[in-house]
Amino acid sequence: MAFLHTLPSTLFLFFFISFSTINAQPSPSYYPSKIFKPLAFHYGFQNLWGAQHQHVHHGQVSIWLDRNSGSGFKSTRPFRNGYFGASIKLQPGYTAGVITAFYLSNNQAHPGFHDEVDIEFLGTTPGNPYTLQTNVYVRGSGDGRVIGREMKFHLWFDPTSAFHHYAIIWNPDEIIFLVDDVPIRRYQKKSAATFPIRPMWVYGSIWDASSWATDDGRYPADYRYEPFIARYTNFIIHGCSAYASLRCRPVRSSIYGSGLGPNQNLAMRWAQRNFLVYDYCKDFKRDHSLTPECNWP
């Protein structure tokens, strides 16, 4: 009888501990966001479009989307590798159809045939989580030959309640996506044909992607809830610009140099086991002859 009496509280404790363990962010033991110094927005970036929808104040940049326009900014220099990060706070409430992005691209230099490395937040409806989409494009654009390499995640925190740091490490051999220094994805160079090698600029933007952003376009942007605001701060750019000497060394992705350390690998497996919601390599409806890296070890 005593066992039966204590069973409910024991089960509650078990589920509470299990839930807490799942949602407890592991330590990667390597914190590049703490190593590199932030730079002022005006030092490293410039407005790209929608200047009237952009506001800079005390190191924080707000950009917003309404029925008239979105907004975007761009780094003043292109880079051939580096660490690129920003702390971002997203809009709460109804944000379906809205994309908030932080990414690398050379679209303006190579229109129709560009490279791109994306961190994109796909807007949502109240009560449902944001989706963080990571993507890699290699020499392709809106010409019918787009080959996306999407991996999508939900987050282990509310990205609308506080700033969190999102970053890309791009080295000659790999691309690593990080959330608060936790690696969530490692995209390795398997061949020159599947890896971006040309210089790219750093961008941030907010825009209307009603046709696909939320549940494949089922929920479009609703401008009764405008403006949709994205806030950025703690910008970090540390790497080799396109104009740097060839002696410029790529940023380390771990304490070992390239690759991930043991704790980083454990943290990445935790993130993918608990929060990964889509992996292009595991989508059997896709033609993987176009993404040969999915078939390589």
The pLDDT, as a whole number, for residue 290 is 87
The structure's pTM equals: 0.91
Average pLDDT over residues 41-67: 95
- In this prediction, residue 7 has a pLDDT band, given cuts at 50, 70 and 90, of very low
- In this prediction, residue 17 has a pLDDT band, given cuts at 50, 70 and 90, of very low
The radius of gyration of the chain's CA atoms, rounded to the nearest angstrom, is 20
Residue 21 has pLDDT above 60, yes or no: no
What is the rounded distance in angstroms from the CA atom of residue 59 to the CA atom of residue 57?
A: 6
The average confidence (pLDDT) of the chain is 91
Work out the angle at residue 251's Cα, subtended by the Cα atoms of residues 246 and 255, and round it to the nearest 5 degrees: 135
Annotation marks residue 116 as catalytic: yes
Average pLDDT over residues 30-46: 95
Task: Dump the DSSP string for 144-191.
Answer: T------EEE--SS-TTTS-EEEEEEEETTEEEEEETTEEEEEEE---
Choose the catalytic residue: 116, 150, 174, 226.
116
Choose the catalytic residue: 120, 150, 174, 226.
120
Annotation marks residue 174 as catalytic: no
Average pLDDT over residues 210-227: 96
